Amino acid sequence: MKSAVDCLSCFMDQALRVARISSTDETVHLEVARAVAALLPEMNMSLTPPENAVDVYATVARITGCADPYLAIKKVSNDQALAILPDLMREVEESDEPLLAALRLAIAGNIIDYGAMHSFDVEAALVRARTMPLLMDAGRQLVERASSLPAKSRVLYLADNCGEIVYDLLVLRCLVDLGLDVTVAVKDGPIINDALFSDAISCGLDRYAGIITNGTACPGTPLASCSAEFLEAFRGADLILSKGQGNFETLSEAVSEIESDIFFLLTIKCPVVGAHLARLSGKGLDELPGHGEMVLFCGKSLQ
């Protein structure tokens, strides 16, 4: 999806939020505000919001001298999720349909997004995932597709944020139980609270999947900028699971060019993204206001 006018004010909000995390010096905050404000008139609105965010966050990092402002917060998010992981694993194992249960809990974990959200309630999101229908739900289609793949078929899982990747473990275990060969792609460099290689390892994702990076420090998957290693995995996958809002933003208009089956799993946290998905899916704008709607849909349904 292309950047919208509303994205400009959001970029400024994000920049100031990060500046205040990185420094207590108000003169630094002002310098960040002025520098990011200068970026906005020159921003390429034909690029996706995650692609434009790269320059915004690089500018903040240059001024504050802090390359990874969410480092401590990311660790807390991972630790909090790992603390409840054993209970969630038992819940999935005892479910009549483990993969469906795991997918719902993983989508709930996508609420952990410091780019789109000022605050969030993970426990409330988990409760909603257990008790309320998804607004768009291709879960059974995804389960049937995964279950029909031959043993050792390649699944590529595009990860999103820290904390959230722990809930993704629930899905990875189910996919491995189906005999599938799973690879998880994380970001190559710090950007907001997105998961890095070190986060994937510390959270134990390597017990179930190979770990690669997409070669970018973009909070999404901009194929034109991704590494050769990632593109080989992407093009060679039999099934792709794209997790989170940023990955959807960067891939939503490329689905016609993607040969593999791709499923998007996310919580909508932005009215611009909600409106974009409504246009692609034929849903009403009132159905996707961008206030926490949980969705799971097949990319081919958007063509």
Q: DSSP string covering 121-154, please?
A: -HHHHHHHHHHS--SEE-HHHHHHHHHHSPTT-E
User: Is a pLDDT exceeding 70 seen at residue 115?
Assistant: no
Cα-to-chain-centroid distance, residue 107: 10
Q: Report pLDDT digits (tens) over 199-250.
A: 999 999 999 999 999 999 999 999 999 999 999 999 999 999 999 999 999 9
Amino acid code (one letter) for 7: C
pLDDT beyond 90 at 109: no
Using CA atoms, how far apart are residues 32 and 265, in angstroms rounded to an integer?
33
pLDDT at 257: 85
Are 109 and 167 in contact by the 8 Å Cβ rule? The answer is: yes
Domains of the chain, start order: 5-64 (no CATH), 71-302 (3.40.50.10880)
Sheet holding 181-186, edge to edge: 136-137, 293-298, 261-268, 239-243, 154-158, 181-186, 210-213
Residue found under tokens 């998010």: 77
Tell me: pLDDT of 166 over 60. yes
The amino acid sitting at 12 is M
Task: Note the pLDDT of residue 68.
Answer: 96
**Band of pLDDT at residue 302, cut at 50, 70 and 90:** confident
The pLDDT value given to residue 113 = 57
- Tens digit of each residue's pLDDT (9 = 90 or more) over 136-156: 999 999 999 999 999 999 999
pLDDT (average), residues 29-45: 97
Please, which residues bridge with residue 187 across strands? Answer: 196
Q: What percentage of the chain carries pLDDT values higher than 70?
A: 97
pLDDT at res. 253: 87
Is 120 a residue whose pLDDT tops 80?
no
The one-letter code for the residue type at 97 is E
CA 229, CA 95: separation in Å to the nearest integer? 36
Helices (H), the chain: 5-22, 26-39, 49-64, 71-94, 98-109, 122-131, 139-148, 164-177, 197-202, 228-236, 245-251, 271-281
Lowest average pLDDT, out of 113-117, 258-262, 283-287, 288-292, goes to 113-117
Q: What angle do CA 280, 120, 275 make, to 5 degrees?
A: 15
Say if CB 181 and CB 98 are below 8 A apart.
no
Query: What's the confidence (pLDDT) of residue 101?
Result: 96
Q: One-letter amino acid identity for 228?
A: A
126-130, 133-137, 281-285, range with the lowest pLDDT: 126-130
DSSP helix/strand/coil, 291 = coil
Tens digits of residue pLDDT in 48-61: 999 999 999 999 99
The pTM for the full model equals: 0.95
Mean pLDDT throughout 49-77? 96
Mean pLDDT lowest for which of 111-115, 194-198, 239-243? 111-115
